[in-house]
Amino acid sequence: MASVFGEEQNELRRVVRRFFEEKSSEDEVRRLMETDDGYDRRVWAQMAGQLGLQGLAIPEQYGGSGFTQLEMSIVLEEMGRALVCAPVLSSAVLAANLLLESGDEEAKTRLLPVIADGSVIATVALAESSGRWDGDGIAITAERDATGWAVTGEKLFVLDGGTADVVLVVARTDLGLSLFEVSAGSAGLTVRPMDTMDRTRKQSTMVFSRTPARLIGAEGGAAIGVERMLDLAAVAVAAEDVGGALRQVELAAEYARTRSQFGKVIGSYQAIKQKLADMLLSVELSKAAAYRVAQVAVDDPATLAVEAGMAKALCAETYVQVAYDTIQIHGGIGFTWEHPAHLYFRRAKSNASLFGTPAHHRELVAQRMGL
């Protein structure tokens, strides 16, 4: 992959890796996953103020740095490697991209700069009880009266819903799928934490009971923006999966070099050597796919709808398998709560379902290709 990146991108990786190695140790991850917020506000401020990560892929005219999905994928890979507990995926990826696709200049000018500087955390409320991550799964409604718009219904799996300042809600109106802005603490809004497999990434249930909302973009015009946001989310999660899987290979190799059995280190046995080689090969292939699709998002957005789903499916399956193999190589200790392998396994399984399973994405690709 060396030929893909320039010196500026390689330096970005070095800086980000050093930062997360210092700020996201295993002990810190375990501490944060037990808190209500699920992230460190001081580190969040440093990510924005010192590194500009939240605004990395937001255009300069909206207060960001104006880089691309390729640079954002580098950051997300390093975050996946360190299991960083922070609302980057919800705010800087989902919410920022949905706003950019909304066509609402006022909303972009008002919200994107504060997302970029980290002073506001935003998220997107999309999935519902159907479990679908597309427009067909949306049943929540929005109605307009003399006082404005109000949203009614329930959303599930809202990333960082408990700490978000702004929630972008996808709801149905008489004209179709529409996008609404709801502020945290609004009347009629109830937020409940969900007990999920991956405790390093907080998710919430949100119940809206005629909650005041602000229309973003044109009524009935959100479908295309939601689809584009989900494609870019697939790009982001693919990169995160690669980072976690690569770290698992490192952990497994380190253990194989030091663990002795029957008088020999287990890494000297052919079965372990072959397993590690297969793990590395599959991860490197996934990494190539993840950065291929990140480059497509930059150079050929028209084909992203097909490429993103395939990359998401491949990287998700690779991460799950590598996480499983890492536990197997570690033996009994790999199954214990004290070992980090299970933290990566939980992230891998959660990511495999987030925004749609590999089977969902392959079916979506087939539909988009007319098959």
What pLDDT, on the 0 to 100 scale, is given for residue 332? Answer: 76
Domain with CATH 1.20.140.10 in the chain: 224-368
Burial readout 290-310 (b: 16 or more C-beta within 10 A, e: otherwise): bbebbbbbeeeeeebbbbbbb
What pLDDT digit, counting tens, does each position of 132-149 carry?
898 888 999 999 989 999
Stretch(es) of the chain classified as CATH 1.10.540.10: 2-116
What's the confidence (pLDDT) of residue 66? 94
Q: Which of 72-81, 155-164, 231-240, 259-268 has the lowest mean pLDDT?
A: 259-268
Please tell me the total number of residues recorded for the chain in this structure: 371
Q: What is the pLDDT of residue 2?
A: 40
Structure confidence by residue, pLDDT tens digits, 161-208? 999 999 999 999 999 999 999 999 999 999 999 999 999 999 999 999
Task: Assign 230 a pLDDT band (cuts: 50, 70, 90).
Answer: very high
Quickly state the pLDDT bin for 333 (edges 50, 70, 90): confident
Task: Tell me which of 1.10.540.10, 3.50.50.60, 3.40.50.11290, 1.10.357.10 is the CATH number of domain 2-116.
Answer: 1.10.540.10
* DSSP single-letter state for residue 165: S
Give the residue ranges of DSSP H helices in 204-340: 223-258, 270-299, 304-330
Q: What is the CATH number of domain 224-368?
A: 1.20.140.10
Q: Which fold has domain 122-221?
A: Butyryl-CoA Dehydrogenase, subunit A; domain 2 (2.40.110)
Q: In terms of pLDDT, which residue wins out, 257 or 119?
A: 119
Q: What pTM value is reported for the model?
A: 0.95
Enclosing H/E stretch for 246: helix 223-258
